[in-house]
């Protein structure tokens, strides 16, 4: 009956004599030793199943138990199965005595705890990896329990607080920070624990030396194996420079917006208010020229002509300035715009210039884009007018085309004109920048600056590719409707 009971145990059960020979074993032990049944173990020792060094260790332990008469309870021992894999056991060995109290052998049992040991080892490795990782991270890492007491902080966190870890563990925010900040941190922690949601914020911290810094903070709940929240884990990193740069950028952007608005308002008012006195100067000067031409000396006639010409050029310049200043503030909302229709209006506006120059203007099929129709008309008109104006000895030839890319439409206006030195390719888009004297080509030097401002308002780019004497191609882009 005893053998039957012992045989059903999952633990390894055995009895050995004083020479460490098996006199009883159960099925679990026999299978561990690689035997078909327990009888195969009888009369044999550990030297028949284990490496010599390991078997000698078991034998020496058992000799000590027999000689001392003292048992060894729940001792962790390493063993090896028949495949050569190391295993761990929780072993108990006690002296076996006869009716007279004489030690006649050993009764032992062992339980396989290999899985537990490997799990413990994996846990230790995991913890070691975790602490190694958080110690090397360039961010502050900390943990608190639900009472708000710190239970961990990495190296950088300790450096930030200016304290060793042993002086931080067990402390709360109220022990380390000003009351106002501590109350905020505690409130954030409670919210994380109650909602179980990750908290993210930009916080203002105070370093031990009193310096105020901004940090980006992430806090998340810490769970136990039952899914209960047992604490808060957080990380934070210094974003003071980033925060200051953002604030400076906001201030600069606000100042730039205000300055641009004031400049546009000034340009509009100045140009508008100049119109009336300029009109008066031009009118009376023309009246002088009509009434007194050839009645004064030749110098007076020249002077009057200079004044009339200057007044006319000033009026054109003021009109162009008004146009330039209104691009950003007086533009129409963007809408689907048929570029074919826009180009027809441009041809009508430039009909006289095209006829007088003998220009040939062609185009591919143009798309419908999302744009300000009037500004798109002005853009194409300026580019085509320039192509006609700056022509070579041959009659002007201008071609307009457009092709769709992944995110935008690429337009081009190509001509066979005098061309531009690449050195000046960017300069020509700056307001009042001229490459030719007024005697060669009339104009105020604002046309291409207007083109650039229109394209920028639409979220696109404009540039030119050209060589002197080989014509020019002006390119500009208009984003697709979904990208504006």
Q: Chunked in runs of 10, what are the mean pLDDT values of the chain (484 residues)? A: 56 91 90 86 89 87 90 80 73 89 90 78 70 76 92 87 89 89 90 89 73 84 88 87 82 76 65 66 72 70 69 64 63 88 92 90 93 90 88 87 91 89 75 49 66 89 87 91 57
pLDDT score at 412 = 94
Closest CA to 361 of 328, 331, 386: 386
Q: 335-483: which CATH topology?
A: Heat Shock Protein 90 (3.30.565)
8-state DSSP, 135: H
pLDDT at residue number 326: 62
Stretch(es) of the chain classified as CATH 3.30.450.20: 2-112, 137-238
Which residues sit opposite 143 in a β-bridge?
152, 233
| pLDDT for 83 | 65
CA distance 53 to 477: 83
Alpha carbons 300 and 293: distance in angstroms, whole number: 8
Instruction: Give the separation between CA 99 and CA 263, rounded to whole angstroms.
Output: 115
Asked if 36 and 25 touch (Cβ cutoff 8 Å), the reply is no
Q: Report the residue count for the chain.
A: 484
CA-based nearest residue to 271, from 320, 313, 222, 305: 320
Domain 244-326 class, CATH top level? mainly alpha
Assigned CATH topology for domain 137-238 = Beta-Lactamase (3.30.450)
Tokens of 8: 């059903």
pLDDT given at position 480: 84
Look up the pTM and report it: 0.44
2-112: CATH number: 3.30.450.20
Give the pLDDT of residue 440. 45
d(CA 458, CA 151): 56
């Amino acid at each position: 009956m005893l053998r039957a009971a012992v045989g059903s145990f999952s633990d390894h059960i055995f009895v050995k004599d004083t020479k460490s020979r098996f006199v009883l074993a159960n099925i679990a032990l026999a299978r561990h030793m690689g035997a078909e049944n327990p009888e195969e173990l009888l009369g044999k020792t550990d030297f028949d199943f284990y490496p010599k060094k390991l078997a000698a260790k078991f034998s020496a332990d058992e000799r000590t138990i027999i000689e001392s008469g003292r048992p060894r309870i729940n001792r962790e021992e390493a063993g090896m199965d028949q495949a050569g894999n190391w295993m761990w056991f929780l072993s108990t060995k006690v002296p076996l005595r006869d009716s007279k109290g004489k030690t006649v052998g050993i009764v032992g049992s062992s339980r396989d705890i290999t899985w537990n040991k490997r799990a413990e080892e994996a846990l230790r490795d995991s913890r070691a990896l975790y602490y190694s990782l958080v110690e090397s991270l360039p961010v502050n890492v900390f943990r608190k329990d639900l009472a708000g007491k710190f239970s961990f902080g990495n190296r950088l966190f300790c450096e930030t607080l200016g304290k060793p870890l042993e002086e931080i563990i067990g402390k709360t925010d109220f022990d380390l920070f000003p009351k106002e900040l501590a109350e905020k941190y505690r409130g954030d922690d409670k919210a994380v624990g109650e909602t179980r949601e990750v908290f993210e914020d930009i916080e203002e911290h105070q370093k031990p030396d009193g310096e105020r810094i901004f940090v980006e903070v992430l806090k998340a709940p810490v769970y136990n194996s039952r899914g209960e929240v047992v604490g808060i884990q957080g990380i934070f990193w210094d974003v003071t420079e980033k925060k200051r740069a953002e604030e400076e950028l906001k201030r600069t952007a606000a100042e730039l917006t205000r300055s641009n608005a004031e400049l546009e308002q000034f340009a509009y008012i100045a140009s508008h208010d100049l119109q009336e006195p300029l009109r008066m100067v031009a009118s009376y000067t023309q009246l002088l020229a009509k009434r007194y031409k050839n009645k004064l000396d030749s110098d007076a006639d020249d002077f009057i002509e200079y004044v009339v010409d200057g007044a006319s050029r000033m009026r054109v310049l003021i009109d162009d300035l008004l146009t330039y200043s209104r691009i950003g503030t007086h533009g129409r909302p963007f809408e689907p715009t048929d570029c074919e229709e826009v180009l027809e209006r441009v041809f009508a506006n430039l009909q006289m210039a095209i006829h007088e120059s003998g220009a040939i203007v062609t185009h591919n099929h143009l798309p419908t884009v999302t744009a300000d129709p009037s500004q798109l008309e002005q853009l194409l008109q300026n580019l085509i007018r320039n192509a006609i104006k700056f022509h070579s000895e041959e009659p002007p030839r201008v071609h307009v085309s457009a092709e769709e890319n992944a995110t935008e439409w690429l337009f081009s206006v190509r001509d066979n004109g005098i061309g531009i030195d690449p050195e000046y390719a960017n300069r020509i888009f700056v307001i009042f920048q001229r490459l030719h004297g007024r005697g060669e080509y009339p104009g105020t030097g604002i046309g291409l600056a207007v083109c650039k401002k229109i394209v920028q308002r639409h979220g696109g780019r404009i540039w030119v590719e050209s060589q002197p004497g080989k014509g020019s191609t002006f390119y500009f882009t208009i984003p697709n409707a979904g990208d504006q």
